[in-house]
Amino acid sequence: MSLQATQAESTSRRRRHHAGRTAESHAAFLLPHLRPGMALLDLGCGPGSITVGLAAAVAPGGTTGIDVDPEPIDGVTVVAGDATHLPFPDDSFDAIHASAVLQHVPDPLAVLREARRVARPGAVIGVVDADWDGELLYPADDVIRRSMEIARKLREGTSPFVGKQLRHLLTEAGFVRAEGFARVTHHGTVDEVAGVSSFTASLFRYPAAVDRAVAEGWATAAELEEMSLAWTAWGEQPGAFLARFWCEAVAWAE
Question: Between helices 221-235 and 190-203, what is the axis angle to 10°?
Answer: 180
- pTM summary value: 0.86
Confidence label for 156 from pLDDT (cuts 50, 70 and 90): confident
Contact 241, 188 (CB under 8 A): yes
Question: What is the tens place of the pLDDT at every residue in 55-96?
Answer: 999 999 999 999 999 999 999 999 999 999 999 999 999 999
β-bridge mates for residue 153, sequence order: none
15, pLDDT greater than 70: no
6, pLDDT greater than 90: no
Residue 106 is which amino acid?
P
% of the chain beyond a pLDDT of 90: 85
Residue 32, classified by CB atoms within 10 Å of its CB into exposed (0-12), middle (13-18) or buried (19+), is exposed
Domain that includes residue 122, residue range: 3-252
How far apart are alpha carbons 104 and 7 in whole angstroms? Answer: 14
Lowest-confidence pick of 6-15, 40-49, 63-72, 148-157: 6-15
Looking at mean pLDDT, say which of 18-22, 89-93, 158-162 comes out highest. Answer: 89-93
Instruction: List the beta strands (DSSP E) in the chain.
Output: 40-43, 63-67, 77-80, 93-99, 119-138, 176-187, 241-252
C-alpha 227, offset from chain centre = 23
Domain total of the chain: 1
**CATH number, position 49:** 3.40.50.150
Give Cα separations from 139 to 145, 237, 239, 242 (angstroms): 10, 8, 8, 9
pLDDT value of position 214 = 97
Confidence label for 134 from pLDDT (cuts 50, 70 and 90): confident
